[in-house]
Amino acid sequence: MHEYDDAVLKCFLDNQLQLFPEKVAETLEEAENFLDEVMAVVVDSVEEVIEYFEEEGIDMDGADGEEILEASEVFDIGDGRYLIVEG
């Protein structure tokens, strides 16, 4: 099981509608269970976000860091880390 701290869980709860048409979690516990189920990833930098997409074989079509961070799967935790959730 991945370790999602409160900052990650709160970020997901607050912003989940950017990825999903309706809420998938209402509580921190539900958020943690959901993120665990979909094997969401927390990375420490924009570079790691880019690396993740490359490793997953997702075609970024020459997108730069800023464009990648605008992807609906990418959540800015606000402390330099990013949560990547594949919907």
- pTM of this prediction? 0.89
Distance CA 53, CA 58 (A): 5
Distance CA 73, CA 21 (A): 13
Is pLDDT larger for residue 12 or for residue 68?
12
Mean pLDDT of 5-9: 98
- Which residues, at least 6 apart from 63, have a Cβ–Cβ distance to it below 8 Å? none
Distance CA 77, CA 8 (A): 6
Q: Which tens digits make up the pLDDT trace of 61-77?
A: 777 778 888 999 999 99
Q: Where are the domains of the chain?
A: 6-84
Q: What are the two backbone dihedrals, phi and then psi, of residue 41, each rounded to the nearest 5 degrees?
A: -125, 140
Q: Which tens digits make up the pLDDT trace of 31-41?
A: 999 999 999 99
Do residues 49 and 68 make contact, with C-beta atoms less than 8 angstroms apart? Answer: yes
Distance CA 75, CA 83 (A): 5
